[in-house]
Amino acid sequence: MAKYFFEFKQLIRIGIPIFGSQLSYALMGTTDTIIAGRASANDLAGLAVGTAFSNTIWFFFTGIIFAVTPIVAQLYGAKKFLEIGQKLREILWVAAGLGLLMAFIFFNMDIIINLLPIKSSITSITIDYLKAVSIGWFFVTIFTCLRCYSEGMTYTKPVFYIAFSGMLLNIPLDLIFVYGWFGAPKLGGVGCGIATSIVSFLMMISILVYIGFSKNYKRTEPFSKFSKPSLDTTKEVLKLGLPIGLGIFIELSMFSGAAIILSVLGEIVVASHSVAINIASLFFMVPLAIGLASSTRVGNLIGEKNPFQAKTAATSTIILCITGALINSIIILSFGSFIVGLYTTELPVLELAVSLILFAAIFQLPDGIQMGALGSLRGYKDTFIPMILLMISYWIFAMPIGYYLTNFGFGDPLGAKGMWFGMIIGLTIFSFLSIFRLRWIMKSYIKKISGREPQPL
Question: What pLDDT score does 452 carry?
Answer: 53
Judgement on whether residues 413 and 452 belong to the same structural domain of the protein: yes
Question: What pLDDT score does 299 carry?
Answer: 95
Judgement on whether residues 172 and 264 belong to the same structural domain of the protein: no
Name the amino acid, one letter, at 414: L
Q: Over the stretch 243-285, which tens digit does the pLDDT of each residue have?
A: 999 998 888 888 777 877 887 777 788 778 878 887 888 888 8
User: 142 and 200 in contact (C-beta within 8 Å)?
Assistant: no
Last residue of a domain, one of 167, 199, 229: 229
Judgement on whether residues 218 and 145 belong to the same structural domain of the protein: yes
Judgement on whether residues 257 and 377 belong to the same structural domain of the protein: yes
Judgement on whether residues 43 and 157 belong to the same structural domain of the protein: yes
Element (H, E) at 431: helix 416-450
- Give the helix ranges, DSSP H, for 380-415: 384-391, 399-407
How far is 393 from 102, CA to CA, in rounded Å?
A: 29
How far is 87 from 222, CA to CA, in rounded Å?
A: 9
pLDDT at 170 over 90: yes
Is 6 part of any domain?
no
Judgement on whether residues 323 and 191 belong to the same structural domain of the protein: no
> Which of 252 and 12 is assigned the larger pLDDT?
12
Kindly report which listed range (233-242, 325-334, 350-359) carries the lowest average pLDDT score.
350-359
Please list, in sequence order, all residues whose beta carbon lies within 8 angstroms of the beta carbon of residue 391, skipping any fewer than 6 positions away: 250
Last residue of a domain, one of 229, 256, 285: 229
Judgement on whether residues 203 and 352 belong to the same structural domain of the protein: no
Question: What pLDDT score does 255 carry?
Answer: 79
> Is the overall model pTM greater than 0.75, yes or no?
yes
Judgement on whether residues 182 and 312 belong to the same structural domain of the protein: no
CA angle 411, 426, 299 (to 5 degrees): 175
Question: What pLDDT score does 323 carry?
Answer: 95
User: 243 and 383 in contact (C-beta within 8 Å)?
Assistant: yes
Question: What pLDDT score does 79 carry?
Answer: 95
Judgement on whether residues 223 and 236 belong to the same structural domain of the protein: no
Q: Over the stretch 402-456, which tens digit does the pLDDT of each residue have?
A: 999 999 988 888 888 999 999 999 999 999 999 999 999 999 999 887 665 444 4
Please list, in sequence order, all residues whose beta carbon lies within 8 angstroms of the beta carbon of residue 92, skipping any fewer than 6 positions away: 142, 145
Residues in the chain, overall count: 457
Is 381 part of any domain?
yes
Is 132 part of any domain?
yes
SS3 361: helix
Domain count, the chain: 2
First-to-last alpha carbon distance for the chain, in angstroms, is 14
Long-range contacts of 321-324 (CB under 8 A, 24+ apart): 321/287, 321/290, 321/291, 321/368, 321/369, 321/371, 321/372, 322/365, 322/368, 322/369, 322/372, 324/286, 324/287, 324/290, 324/368
Q: Over the stretch 349-383, which tens digit does the pLDDT of each residue have?
A: 888 888 888 888 998 999 999 999 999 999 999 99
User: 370 and 251 in contact (C-beta within 8 Å)?
Assistant: no
